[in-house]
Amino acid sequence: MDKYLLTASGRICCLRCTAKSTRTKLQCGRPALKASKTQKCQFHGGRSTGPKTEQGRSRIAQANLKHGQDTRASIHKSSQVKVKLRQLEDIMYLYGMTTAPKTRGRKPLGYIPVRTKEQARQLMQLTPLGG
Q: What is the pLDDT of residues 24-61, one digit of tens each?
A: 989 888 888 887 778 888 888 877 777 889 998 888 77
Give the pLDDT confidence score for residue 111 in this predicted structure. Answer: 92
Buried b or exposed e, range 46-78, using 16+ CB within 10 angstroms: beeeeeeeeeeeeeeeeeeeeeeeeeeeeeeee
Q: Is this prediction's pTM over 0.75?
A: no
Domain range summary for the chain, segments of one domain joined by +: 74-126
Higher pLDDT, 23 or 10: 23
Q: For 72-96, what is each residue's pLDDT tens digit?
A: 778 888 899 999 999 999 999 999 9
pLDDT at 106 over 70: yes
